[in-house]
Structure 1
Amino acid sequence: MRVLALDYGSARCGCAVSDPTGTLATPIEHIERPGTRKGLVRVADLAREREVGRIVVGLPLGLSGHDTDQTRETRVWADKLRDRVTPIPVELYDERFTTRIASRSGPPAQTRTSEDSRAAAVLLEDWLARHGSERA
């Protein structure tokens, strides 16, 4: 089953998708302004085009583990996405440190846009490692 990971931000949403076996996470093109109607439709279309069986949305908890304004915005957006992609399950997953790890993983010349999708790939790699036995 393919899994789509999303690193939501109001300006752009980083995206990564797994291979069908759920082993590899590959960053793909980001989506601009995902919070708009058009952006949300594009995310839903991407999920269907890639034939994903699950969507994992990075949850930006504060360092203390508590909700922040961005956490609350992400929860609202994930609920809207859930309504658009039913019956594909949408799951929130702690994304603390994924952007920092992603920024260290690529060459310095890479753009911010690729960093968003690399962060989604880091998130997806972690999710796949933790949920490997549950996917089957």
Structure 2
Amino acid sequence: MGRILAIDFGEKRTGIAVTDELQIIASGLTTVATTTLLSFLKEYIAKENVELIVVGQPKRLNNDFSDVEQVILTYIEKLKAAFPELPIERVDERFTSKIAFQSMIDSGVKKKQRRSKELLDEVSATVILQSYLYNK
């Protein structure tokens, strides 16, 4: 088995999470500038056995897609071109930022660290990945 990699895509920053090779535990990996995301993924996937990419799908409460969805779809085409052998699945990411923030509070993350948008993006990617694992 290979790892599953999850992406919480943002126009400025992107949070990344991965599973262990048995696909049991989701862990935050990092947050990267979106401009460097593709090169980061190429390097990571060259070193690690990744078998699936999960990308968050931002929706509003009324089930409409958020404004960033078109940007994400364009980026997914870049991912497919760069990694044609890897399937890409989407996961509804509604409330992931709120869940991530609450989990940081529950985990005892200090207030100063909770202000870090990079950490919030990484934890949000982890929540997306956990949601995928729970529902697969």
Flag whether TM exceeds 0.5 (same fold): yes
State the identity %. 30
- State the secondary structure of the residue aligned to 1:23: coil
TM-score calculated relative to the size of structure 2: 0.87
Q: Aligned-residue CA RMSD in angstroms?
A: 1.4
1:1-136 mapped onto 2 (5 Å cutoff): 1-32=2-33, 34=34, 36=35, 38-106=36-104, 107=109, 108-110=111-113, 111-131=116-136
Runs of 4 or more off by more than 6 Å in structure 1? none
5+ long unaligned stretches in structure 1 = 132-136
- State the secondary structure of the residue aligned to 1:109: helix
Q: Which amino acid aligns with 2:68?
A: Q
Q: Provide the C-alpha distance between the structure 2 equivalents of 1:99 and 1:69, rounded to a whole number of angstroms.
A: 16
5+ long unaligned stretches in structure 2 = none
The offset of 1:48, in angstroms, is 3.1
1:106-127, Cα deviation, whole Å (9 max, x unpaired): 1233221111010000110110
1:24-46, Cα deviation, whole Å (9 max, x unpaired): 000011111x2x3x432222332
Q: How many correspondences in the alignment?
A: 128
- State the secondary structure of the residue aligned to 2:59: coil
Whether contact under 8 Å (2:14, 2:37) holds in the other structure is no
